[in-house]
Structure 1
Amino acid sequence: MVPAMWRTAELRWWWRGERTRPLTEWLLQGAEPLVDRRTDLYLAHAEATDIGIKQRGYGATEVKVLVDLPDLSLPPQMGCQAEIWVKSSGLPLSLTTGTTLPVGKTRFRRLLEFAGGVWHGIDSEEAAEEGVGLEISDVECAGSAWHTVCMEAFGPADRIEPLLQAAITLLGPWPSGTSEPWLCGGYPLWLSRLSSHAAAAE
């Protein structure tokens, strides 16, 4: 079987501790979220910031590679580098515990399709040709609690950047009083920083 491959445009922010209600309400805007809970096994290496490998729920393996850093316009307080990732799933890979970290997560997601010049709520990415996934997640790793916000555009390769920009415009700046994020970047960068800090503490 040939692994599936797709491209996404993403913005992701990280904070230590539990998520706040205003930030959750800003992202979901009253929509009933899609909720899933699972533990993924991630490759964790201090130098692996542009490639991510994980076993989703200890099942199918997914590989993602950072391929571009597009320029998007964000509110100043949300300053973050957008990322273009190429992903592949269904690869026959296995990860060993010596180089990985289990990451528990509870995701609260809102999926939007862009069709006819209008945003519509949907139940799955497979139901739309192009759109954006909005996610806020509770994350636990190595005994520490985190929360992360992600905006991920999907669709034709030439559309994902404008879709992500349109989603930023749709949501507007996050609530006043939101603390400065600890990090902006995908899971590979976050895991790299955690690995670096763990190595420095030894």
Structure 2
Amino acid sequence: MSGLQDWLMQGAAPKRETRTDLYLADPNLTDISLKRRGREHSEVKVLVGLPDISLPPSMAAQAELWLKSEAARLPLTDEGTVAVGKERRRRILRFADGGWHPVDSEEEAENGAALEYALVEAHGERWTSLCLEAFGEEDRLPALLQGVVTLLGPWPGDVPAPAISGGYPFWLGEIARGH
């Protein structure tokens, strides 16, 4: 495992998944994401805020609050889109009784977080992606995110700061611009 994956999984056996998603790729749309997930359903994500979350200083990033919704299958075609191959590793935690508890799925937790480490490929380039995703009651999301960041502890000393910090629409736009 890499230092980043070790930090995120902290000894837990991650759930693994490999798939390719098709993303709308428009460098001017960094606050909305449209994707067809694998060969299944479509998802729409909208950036709704920049919560005041204390991230590890070495992370050099700003937390983002995105709302996700499943959508009817969107007519995304190869034109104007980018195929993103993903090999994901996820750890899912439920927050209850004042602490974090491992669970097998988001459905098992009313309030919680999914921690994701992914090896991604787009435009022939390979990247590592990290995502901390809180779910549950909307007014509790910033506190849940802060709680899971605190649980993880300091950014691992052997891992450089992210080259790009932002959601997939921002990342794909940066790739298109030649980062």
Contact 1:39 1:103 in 2 (8 A): yes
Could you tell me how far 1:175 is from its partner in structure 2? 1.3
Could you tell me how far 1:62 is from its partner in structure 2? 0.5
Task: Give the structure 1 partner of residue 174 of structure 2.
Answer: 193
1:89 aligns with 2:63: no
Corresponding residue SS for 1:192: helix
Q: Which amino acid is 1:87 matched to?
A: K
Task: Give the structure 2 partner of residue 24 of structure 1.
Answer: 5
Could you tell me how far 1:33 is from its partner in structure 2? 0.4
1:176 aligns with 2:157: yes
Aligned pair partner of 1:75 in 56, 60, 76: 56
Could you tell me how far 1:195 is from its partner in structure 2? 1.9
Quick one: distance in 2 between partners of 1:79 and 1:91?
36
Q: Which amino acid is 1:152 matched to?
A: E
Contact 2:55 2:62 in 1 (8 A): no
Quick one: distance in 2 between partners of 1:124 and 1:22?
25
Task: Give the structure 2 partner of residue 52 of structure 1.
Answer: 33
Normalising by the residue count of structure 2, what TM-score does the alignment of the two structures yield?
0.96
Could you tell me how far 1:85 is from its partner in structure 2? 1.2
1:39 aligns with 2:20: yes
Would you say how many aligned residue pairs link Structure 1 and Structure 2?
Answer: 179
Quick one: distance in 2 between partners of 1:175 and 1:69?
24
Task: Give the structure 2 partner of residue 127 of structure 1.
Answer: 108
Quick one: distance in 2 between partners of 1:141 and 1:117?
40
CA RMSD of aligned residues (A): 1.3
Corresponding residue SS for 2:38: helix
Corresponding residue SS for 1:183: coil
Contact 2:51 2:65 in 1 (8 A): yes
List aligned pairs for 1:132-171, cutoff 5 A.
Answer: 132-171=113-152
Give aligned-pair identity as a percent. 52
Residues 103-162 of structure 1, C-alpha deviation per residue, up to 9 Å, x if partnerless? 000100000000010110000001110001111001011111100111111110110100
Unaligned runs of 5+ in 2: none
Normalising by the residue count of structure 1, what TM-score does the alignment of the two structures yield?
0.85
Quick one: distance in 2 between partners of 1:57 and 1:140?
14
Runs of 4+ in 1 over 6 A off after TM superposition: none
Contact 1:61 1:91 in 2 (8 A): yes
Could you tell me how far 1:183 is from its partner in structure 2? 0.7
Unaligned runs of 5+ in 1: 1-19
Structure with larger RCO (C-alpha < 8 A, sep 6+)? 1
Contact 2:5 2:117 in 1 (8 A): yes
Corresponding residue SS for 2:27: coil
